[in-house]
Structure 1
Amino acid sequence: MKWYSTEPSQGKVDYSVPDAMLQFAKKNNVLVRGHNVFWDDPKHQQGWINSLSPTDLSKATTDRINSVISRYRRQVICWDVNENLHINFFESKLGQNASAVFYNLAQKFDGTWTLFLNEYNTIEDARDGDSTPAKYLQKLRDIKAFPGNRNLKLGIGLESHFSSAAPNLAYMRASIDTLAATNFPIWLTEVYVQRGPYQSSAGRTDGNGFFEASLSHGLYCVKIHHPSAKNSSLVQKLNVVSSTGAANQTVLIGFAA
């Protein structure tokens, strides 16, 4: 549904791909989110948009909202209206209230469903200063403060793109608690976790048959060999979890003789 894929050339709107995807979803009883109306990243704007004057761009964005929401109204369960904590293409062209205007218009075209701000790294990465919970909430307040937006049905979309590194669970909990204080619905919208590189290590048990290892959270296969017996290989699966939020856990594995 993204604008760059449905209107690559000005005035030539083609919804054939999202139409087909929606038909597939309906056939398989899959609920669909409206993703998305806008994406503020300048790298993902059509060439023709960059050439528009502010007046013409304002009209084009209004037409876009009307077009996509009118077509899929009552076929999706919510809308991702914009993603712009890290980037501000439309604000740079239309002024700081650009997003607030988008939400205002989206509500008028479809006031039934929740309108989400969708962003990444708000819970994934504490080092990202652009999308902290505080900045996320300030953006929502700015949107709500715009005339006519007081009663918007807003939602919090957390993309949740996790790396293969162990997540900072304490930061995640604190961030979600902060966001939950708004009483807005919170959805994890694009969850994926990068698969970590395959790692292996080997060692010998001590005299009592124990082997100590520091392991991050996850599933492991432990292959056991008796040093002298033939055909004695044994594979056991091990799931390492944390009750403290620590990145690594010290695991003591015991082997019976």
Structure 2
Amino acid sequence: MVIAEHGCWSLLKGGIVANFSTAVEILFESKNTKVEIWVDNVSLQPFTKKQWKAHQDISIDKVRKSEVRFQVTQANKTAMQGAIVSIKQFKSEFPFGCGMNHIILKSTDYQNWFASRFKFTTFTNEMKWYSTEKKQGQENYTVPDAMVKFAKQNGISIREFYSTAYQLDPNAIMFMNEYNTIEYSEDQTVSAANYKKKLEEILQYPGNDRILAGIGLQGRFGSGQPNLAYMRSSLDILGATGVPIWLTEVNVDKDPDQAQYLEEILREGYSHPAVQGIVMFAGPEIAGFKVMPLADTNFQSTPAGDVVDMLLGEWKCSETLEFTADDKGFVDVLLFHGDYNVTVQHTEANSSTTLGLRVTKDIPQATIDVQIHT
């Protein structure tokens, strides 16, 4: 279901998911019988799952990667044909994280499992007031302080729920967090159009014009096939605001195809140009994540955990990449945004050159000049 604005032309964009073939009727409905509805240029396009994923892959190459050109020369600018450029990524720019709770303080296995996979997290409850002030007037931050210490020691960034961070750091993004906006098309109270309207009202309120706003979409999907077409259209509407979007608490209810649906949702979020981060409300079973555990009580991956591990590997350059310079000393490569170590060497050279490289979306194409002394 999508809703048109009154008194003007509205672009309505949506979609349906069907696992069968039948005739389709498109219904335009108004509760006001005195209103005329004019419709122009209606189009209903079918897509197979294969075509949908192909579009996602094209989008990922466009929005999550950038072209990088290396030119390898001698000190006198002579091209070094045949030079070998080795590239190894050690950090991804895209925030893809997972929830964390206090159990991590008691379990080395949990700590190792988390730190080996994720660099972004949200504490499930430990920074909420009912955890830090269980009795009115008696604040206790022992647990969240210990969790913050663990996160800092392992280079893990924390996304949280409270306004104090903004008061201490005006550069912190303040998110308006909501559920059902991308999950459930029948909940029109929190439709993308209504979400956008409410966000604009907040930003237009006196004194709020300088707030760095963000859009938080929980992404708590029920069982059954997710409506990816509706999810995409909602992200398109919200993406038009230019405000950064995060999926903040992604999970999928128990279902025989839970892992498959999780993969589809994560791919849809990651491939959308407006989405700038994803955090899952999930984790190991011993930490109480019963709806969508990523690891069992022995820290063996569940099917959902296998999906996450697969995507963590797919969405970065997991292996060392090697390329050979052409006759002009050029190497052209498409790289995920993130941080890299690069080594350049040549069989005729007595030395190699190593450099650090950061690939970002702000630089659509970069040229790196590398000199080797022979």
Larger RCO (CA within 8 A; separation ≥ 6): 2
More strand by share: 2
TM-score by length of 1: 0.49
TM-score by length of 2: 0.34
More helix by share: 1
